[in-house]
Amino acid sequence: MRDLLPGAVAVAVADASAWAEEPLPEEAATLSERAVPARRREFRAGRACARRAMTALGLPPVPVPAGRDRAPLWPPRIVGSISHTGDYCAAAVARSGAVRSLGIDAEDNLELDEPTRQLVCLPEEEEWWRGPGGSEPYWPTVFFSAKESVYKAWFPLVGGWLGFHDVRVEPDPRAGTFTARILAPHRRPDLAPEVLHGRFAVSPDLVRTAVVVPAD
CA-nearest of 2, 16, 210, 177 to 107 is 210
* DSSP classification of residue 33: T
CB-based contact 107:207 (threshold 8 Å): yes
Give per-residue pLDDT as tens, 171-216: 999 999 999 999 987 778 888 899 999 999 999 999 999 999 999 7
pLDDT higher than threshold 70 for residue 134: no
DSSP string, 43-70: HHHHHHHHHHHHHHTTS------B-TTS
Give the pTM: 0.95
